[in-house]
Amino acid sequence: MAVTSLSTSAPGSEAALPEESRSPHRPLLGQSLAELTEWVQAQGQPAYRGKQLYQWLYQQGARSLQDITVFPKAWRQAMAQVDLGRSTLHHRVVASDGTVKYLLKLADGQIIEAVGIPSAKRLTVCVSSQVGCPMACDFCATGKGGFVRNLATHEIVDQVLTVQEDFGQRVSHIVFMGMGEPLLNTANVVAAIRCLNRDVGIGQRAITLSTVGVPGRIRALAAEQLQVTLAVSLHASNQTQRLQLIPSAGAYPLETLLDECREYVQITGRRVTFEYILLAGLNDQPANAAELAQHLRGFQSHVNLIPYNPISEVDYQRPSEASIRTFVAELEARRIAVTVRYSRGLEENAACGQLRASHR
Ligand code: SAH
């Protein structure tokens, strides 16, 4: 089921996914207990070493087989070149609110962002699903930097372990809101979710997958029967406006996207979150709220308003607090469930992709 690597994907097209390769170079991170046991046995070791490997990989933070001191020394040395699949820390920034941003270097030298967001009882990790992003949404820093490649399963799992180890605290929540469009990398993202749930012990309901929408992929995700929360980046109350912000909306009209979301609710029984960036004077008018409410009437959903985080490449503006409050009130008056999400760690290049752009 898991796929270890993919080449390029254009918006709306995920090339045929290659079957999982069993090559000896497949990193061990991302593999299940059964797979790891099979692997140690293939190396001539007893089956119980599979369990040890599993614990050291997922609980003890092993970065190389050398670290696993319960293994026989000779075998550790012979296996020193085996790739566990861990990244290396390239840069780390702590914001005054405790948010920690990481730039992680992958085996091929590519750099990705991950963010650890602590709050009262939670530790949330914002993970990337791709190096860069091909969707090119106009307000997004990652989109301005272009697309390089999909992340492999272990590269997604690694981000969560890295934050967990750095904080010395269990991760409670995961949001796929870092770099990339997860539904252009569905196979690896789904495999990572299953691993994070099964092997790292994070509840599926504590995982949110955020997508701008790729035709047919929300339906395909529903078929995976996961308990994760689906968040859809809507950002506009009509197709014309959405197309101004999101180029891929041309091939995926708002109505079609919403219909697929309705199917998702029907299949999974889980409500959908709609993300809506508020851009001053553009989509933050009371008329937009009314139009949005019209689309969502009777829809088992929740609106998450995100006041725009300014990025240097474009000159959109964040609305005033007063107009944010008015927008909320307009939705509430129409019985739409709504919350406002303020980004954390703002002074440290918070908008996705910004930290990476400034440290290449
Ligand atoms: N590609 C996915 C996930 C990555 S972006 C998606 O589009 O949903 C995660 C969220 O951050 C999305 O809702 C995205 O629209 C939002 N975002 C991107 N740039 C932003 C900015 N400058 N200010 C506020 N939110 C932004």
Confidence of residue 358 (pLDDT cuts 50, 70, 90): low
Query: Which residue's alpha carbon is at the smallest distance from atom 13 of ligand 1?
Result: 233
Residues 223-262 pLDDT 10s: 999 999 999 999 999 999 999 999 999 999 999 999 999 9
Count other C-beta atoms under 10 Å from residue 227's C-beta.
Answer: 14
The CATH class for the domain spanning 28-78 reads mainly alpha
Ligand 1 centroid, distance to 72 Cα (angstroms): 47
Q: CA-to-CA distance for 277 and 259, rounded, in angstroms?
A: 21
Ranges of CATH 3.20.20.70 domains, the chain: 86-348
Q: Which of 124, 140, 245, 283 to mutate to test the pocket of ligand 1 (most atoms within 8 A of CB)?
A: 140
Count the alpha carbons within 13 Å of 231 in the hemisphere toward its beta carbon: 22
Report pTM: 0.91
DSSP calls for 233-256? E---SSHHHHHHH-GGGGGS-HHH
Catalytic sites, residue numbers: 113, 352
Query: Which residue's alpha carbon is at the smallest distance from atom 22 of ligand 1?
Result: 309
User: Above 90 in pLDDT, residue 178?
Assistant: yes
Mean pLDDT, range 4-21, rounded to an integer:
38
User: Above 60 in pLDDT, residue 10?
Assistant: no
Q: CA-to-CA distance for 303 and 338, rounded, in angstroms?
A: 5
Sign of the C-alpha dihedral, residues 123, 129, 131, 137? Answer: negative
Interacting residues of 152 by C-beta distance below 8 A, sequence separation 6+: 3, 4, 5, 27, 30, 85, 188
Query: Which residue's alpha carbon is at the smallest distance from atom 1 of ligand 1?
Result: 181
Q: CA-to-CA distance for 108 and 176, rounded, in angstroms?
A: 22
Q: Are 91 and 102 in contact (CB under 8 A)?
A: yes
β-pairing, 147-150 with 130-132? antiparallel
User: Above 90 in pLDDT, residue 360?
Assistant: no
Q: CA-to-CA distance for 128 and 113, rounded, in angstroms?
A: 6
Identify the bridge partners of residue 103 per DSSP, sorted by sequence position.
Answer: 91, 113
Q: What is the pLDDT of residue 230?
A: 97
What is the DSSP-derived secondary structure letter of residue 173? E
Q: Are 181 and 212 in contact (CB under 8 A)?
A: yes
User: Above 60 in pLDDT, residue 21?
Assistant: no
Ranges of CATH 1.10.150.530 domains, the chain: 28-78
Pocket-forming residues, ligand 1, beta carbon under 6 Å: 139-140, 177, 181, 210-212, 233, 275, 277, 306, 308-309, 311, 351-352
Q: What is the pLDDT of residue 357?
A: 62
Residues 283-297 pLDDT 10s: 999 999 999 999 999
Residues 79-126 pLDDT 10s: 988 999 999 999 999 998 899 999 999 999 999 999 999 998 999 999
Residues 31-69 pLDDT 10s: 999 999 999 999 999 999 999 999 999 999 999 999 999
Q: What is the pLDDT of residue 27?
A: 95
Taking alpha carbons only, the member of 285, 310, 297, 301 closest to residue 338 is 301
Q: What is the pLDDT of residue 295?
A: 97
Alpha helix segments (H runs only) across 183-317: 186-198, 217-223, 239-245, 254-268, 286-296
Q: What is the pLDDT of residue 349?
A: 55
User: Above 70 in pLDDT, residue 6?
Assistant: no
Q: Rounded mean pLDDT of the chain?
A: 90
User: Above 80 in pLDDT, residue 161?
Assistant: yes
The ligand 1 atom at the shortest distance from the C-alpha of residue 232 is 8
Q: Are 156 and 189 in contact (CB under 8 A)?
A: yes
Question: How far out from the chain centre does Cα 34 lie?
Answer: 26
Min mean pLDDT across 68-72, 76-80, 208-212 is at: 76-80
CATH fold of the domain at 86-348: TIM Barrel (3.20.20)
Question: How far out from the chain centre does Cα 63 lie?
Answer: 23
Q: What is the pLDDT of residue 351?
A: 53
Identify the bridge partners of residue 186 per DSSP, sorted by sequence position.
Answer: none
Q: What is the pLDDT of residue 355?
A: 63
